[in-house]
Amino acid sequence: MFRMLLKRVIGLQRPPTVFHAHISDGSILDRSMPNVNVTYQRVCSFHRSQARNMETKPRRAMLYVPGSDERKLKKLTDLEVDCAVMDCEDGVAVNKKVDARNTIRSMLDRLSCPGVRDLAVRVNSVSSGLADEDLMEIFKAERLPSTVMLPKVESKAEVQWFVKTVKSQLSKRSSQAPLRVVIFTETAIGLLRLPDILEECQRASDATLVFEGVVFGSDDFCASIGATRTADAHELLYARQKVVATAKAFGMQAIDLVYIDFKDSVGLEEQSLQGARMGFTGKQVIHPNQIPIVQTAFSPSEERIKWAQELISAFEQHQATGKGAFDFKGSMIDMPTVLQARNILKLAEVNS
């Protein structure tokens, strides 16, 4: 009895398996413990094969446009932005939902947006009861969006419903490129269940449907936990970090919160750079003027790219001679720093 208690107190019982994952593509960098979790291996293996066959869309800035406002939608033809989202959800009044989905379906076929790298549609949440009608209308378009966004995901069952509904619609169409999906975490229960939700997303991904990212919906999350939204967003630090860590563990993009004061360019830049340092790959924006600031913040500078290129070159030279850690411009370099350099070059390549 004493020995059992002692084991519990000093932690002699075998610890859970610890994983270290590459933050940009989900591949496992180190499996220091034996008995690697089979599910995690399968998830990472799938994502690696997916990445070889399909390039992920950059989403440094993700601009929302109300689907009920045809005038604003038409402005997308002259914009340059990584991702533009035709919105059926929060940006649309309840009495305009039907107008929004009809307008979006029409605009998908009529608009030419050469400066938009990812033209997306955000449908209403599964729990709203409106998602089915949104999807039915969107799939009437001759040209589908490259990405569909599903908000307020709180359970695996919602992912399963969405996948079944979308694949049913896709089965009625001729062969096309895989439809990309980005989900939103916007409530306390959604955040707590995020690992299970993303595992279900990866399980459902195949040649027709690929889940690529997670967006953090900060305002709904604050309402969910009873927090007061502040300018520095300190009340959201834990949630933001959990979204980043969980999304990257599954090899997905992580999109940061909206900066609401669209006239405050200094505050926007500061928060964008903070999000990039935390590991987010992009940020939601609500005004076109926010786009260049955000996309610059989430892109490596020329100086950082040059540093990464030179470091990788030095690393390869030292590897050829059988050396491990080495000195580079006055700093000792080991594998974690090399991996950071590789991430910088990968990000530069994706955003080019």
CA distance 352 to 341: 17
CA distance 312 to 142: 46
Amino acid in the structure at residue 347: L
Q: Among candidates 91, 94, 83, which has minimal Cα distance to 129?
A: 94
Residue that the structure tokens 């001759």 belong to: 142
Amino acid in the structure at residue 340: Q
Q: Among candidates 296, 111, 89, 297, which has minimal Cα distance to 186?
A: 89
**Number of C-alpha atoms within 13 angstroms, CB side, residue 322?**
0
Residue of 109, 232, 327, 334 marked active site: 334
CA distance 300 to 349: 10
Structure tokens at 209: 């449907």
Amino acid in the structure at residue 235: E
Structure tokens at 28: 């496992």
Angle at 281 between CA 278 and CA 287, to 5 degrees: 105
Inter-residue contact 101 to 334 (CB < 8 Å): no
| Per-residue DSSP letter, 177 | P
End-to-end CA distance of the chain: give it in Å, rounded. 63
Structure tokens at 249: 């563990």
Q: What are all long-range contacts of 53-56, with beta carbons under 8 Å and residues at least 24 apart?
A: 54/178, 54/210, 55/350, 56/212, 56/253, 56/350
Active site residue 87: no
Which residues carry out catalysis? 334
